[in-house]
Structure 1
Amino acid sequence: MLQYKVVELSNVTEEAIEEALNEKVAEGWSFDGMQFSMRESSKRPSMAFLLFTRDQDKA
């Protein structure tokens, strides 16, 4: 059975994204995708959502 994990980042910097990716991959999660939440008044994302999966039988 496939298990999902969503990590929400309010500090959307290269370093914060790298840290979260490396942390979850080290825990056995596989990176599945990333979504950004944008504000109309800014070109930079205000939030990021990192999506991970893993086989629950291997967890």
Structure 2
Amino acid sequence: MSPDLVTRGPVRSAAELNAAIRALWTGPGGHPAVQLDDERRATYWRLLDELQQVERGDVATAA
């Protein structure tokens, strides 16, 4: 694996990332949010990218 593809440091599990993604879509009272604002949308894409890295195995977990 290329060192360029490896992220060092604390790594969230796929389950933690999925929970964070679901939480973004949950509005007040636990109802699904219809739209994400720009900040939440950016967070959503960062979480998806991190989740894809974990699923591909591109991330090395911290010792």
TM-score (norm 1): 0.33
Q: Which has the higher contact order (CA 8 A, sep 6+)?
A: 2
TM-score (norm 2): 0.32
Instruction: Name the structure with the higher strand share.
Output: 1
Larger Rg: 2
Instruction: Name the structure with the higher helix share.
Output: 2
